[in-house]
Amino acid sequence: MKRLSEEEVISCILGILTRFLEIPEKYVTFKKARVVTTDRNSVNVQSL
């Protein structure tokens, strides 16, 4: 399995979140979001 870069992981997570939450993609940017992994099962995307 290829190891993903941090940006690829973030884009994948945000892509899934935007699909489920139906958030327009233009409101989701890399610079305004920080991915915080609290444990193995939960990933929080916090707005900066």
Query: For 35-48, how does the pLDDT look when each residue is reduced to its tens digit (9 = 90+)?
Result: 554 555 555 565 54
**pLDDT tens-digit series, residues 4-47:** 788 888 888 877 877 776 655 555 555 555 555 455 555 556 55
Residue 1 in domain:
no
Provide the domain count of the chain.
1
| 24 and 30 Cβ atoms separated by less than 8 Å | no
Residue 42 in domain:
yes
- Cα–Cα distances (Å) from 3 to 9, 11, 25, in that order, read 10, 14, 25
For residue 17, the enclosing domain spans: 6-47
Residue 11 in domain:
yes
